[in-house]
Chain A
Amino acid sequence: MEPASTLQPRIAAFALALSFTAASSAWAQSNASQISEESLIPVAISVALPVVLVAGAGSIVVTGVQASADGVVWFVENVADGVKGSIRFAADAIGATAMVAGTVVVVTVVATGMLLSAAGHVIAFVPNEIGRSLSYNQRVSR
């Protein structure tokens, strides 16, 4: 288990900050008995998003991406009202750094968290408590 990583909320009003312990850094999409490193979906370890998005579906636009040793942060803005937020990933989350500013991301709330998708494909997962218990990825053998 990795230590908890929280993000300083960058938005004041109408924002809900959720912090998560990162049990995993990526989703592995596998085909039958196969695994492909290229198809890993990053899992957010902490997020500060407008509450309206946490409660239901909506869209955000990525306004910037910042990568450091501490992790990768997507700065986002709610399309509907311009409220700002951010989503943090572990530094080794495959795919997180590939995000390009200006990308419009659709947020879909599911029972296990939030799915972030662009152009019809899921690009990240923001797990809630249930989703976190379901998510883990560790390579055991070299």
Chain B
Amino acid sequence: MSRLRRWIRLLAGIVGLAAAAMAQAGQTCDTHPPDTYAMTRALGLAERVQQSLDASGARVVVIARAGQDLTRYGLQWSHLAFAYRDDPAPAPLPMALPTSPMLGQISDQPIPVPLPRRGSWRIVHKLNQCGTADAAVFRQGLAEFFLDTPFRYEAAYVVPDPEVQAALLRTVVDDQRLVQWHSPAYSVVAYPWSTRYQQSNQWALETLAGSLDPAATTRERAQAWLQLHDYQPTVLHIDALTRLGARMTRANVAFDDHPNSKRFSDHIETVTVESMFAWMQRMQIAGRPTVVR
């Protein structure tokens, strides 16, 4: 075989490989529904988390799941969300109570006082839509949160201080505020100090910042507030070959928002559960994580 023909065959092979890789880009979601065993475990964990949250006395917490095995990066948890108790509004008192005594009479009927009704726990979080480089904000139940055949059937949450809970609560029940710090463009390793992309944990962090500071009305301002308050992202060491492979085969991975100096030294900074939990403790706005198994 001539040298030219060998080169042509090699080139064709490379093009073919690249085409195959591009065809699979973003198609990494498992579209098969779970089996009975997996779903039973997910429902069981959801119920235990509900009981733990009920016992915590909190109205809103920052919660994490272990959807992926990130232990090679020294991380236990992969995905952040807010969980809040969706208490229904108290029922208004009736205009005229049927048991009201007439003037001068004494009623032996106690006036009914409606007891506050407890709502269900809801999750608000940002999810990447399979097969695309986009993401959206969802409100889900605890069961949906664990229905992903996670790497470990465990959850961790931190209870914010009452003032932080009050600020967060105003956001999590308000659909407009939930998307105020949301950008659809998604990269799983988005740079924390850029607004080109946004990953799920970053949305939670910026939404928390925006909820705490009335002036942080945009993503840029929320990031500035986080820098001012010494949020420290996690540094992942990802070499060039891995970065190239991920970029070619995954639609939801991008590195072009990272500064060149950091990127080319394999120094990838991003928002993780661990970094957010640690920062909240350092700021003394939340306690230690509670783990539910």
Contact = CB atoms under 8 A, between A and B. Distances in A.
Interface residues of B, number: 52
B144 A135 contact: yes
Nearest to B70: A32
A57 B254 CA distance: 47
Contacts of A87: none
B141 A110 contact: no
Contact of A141 (B36, B43, B68, B179): B179
Interface in A1-47: 23-24, 27-39, 41
Bin chain A's interface residue count: 35 or more
Interface string A106-125: 10101110010100111101
Given A39-B30, A136-B120, A136-B139, A28 B40 contact: no
The secondary-structure label for the interface of chain B is mixed
Interface string B130-147: 110001111111111001
A68 interface: no
A29 B129 CA distance: 11
Nearest to B67: A32
A111 B136 contact: no
B242 interface: no
Given A31-B28, A34-B129, A137 B141 contact: yes
Contacts of B43: 110-112, 131, 134
Contact of A136 (B135, B144, B182): B144
Interface stretch (B44-52, B153-161, B225-233): B44-52
Contacts of B101: none
Contact of B44 (A106, A111, A120, A122): A111
A78 B30 CA distance: 32
A134 B46 contact: yes
Interface in B152-195: 175, 178-179, 182, 184, 188
B31 A38 contact: yes
B138 A138 contact: yes
A85 B71 CA distance: 48
27 contacts: A28-B144, A29-B30, A30-B127, A31-B130, A31-B148, A33-B200, A35-B128, A35-B138, A38-B29, A38-B130, A39-B32, A41-B34, A41-B39, A110-B40, A111-B47, A112-B47, A112-B143, A115-B39, A115-B40, A121-B33, A125-B39, A136-B141, A138-B138, A139-B138, A140-B136, A140-B137, A141-B178
Interface of B: 28-36, 39-40, 43-44, 46-47, 50, 67-68, 78-79, 120-122, 124, 126-131, 135-144, 147-149, 175, 178-179, 182, 184, 188, 199-200, 252
Interface of A: 23-24, 27-39, 41, 106, 108, 110-112, 115, 117, 120-123, 125, 130-131, 133-142
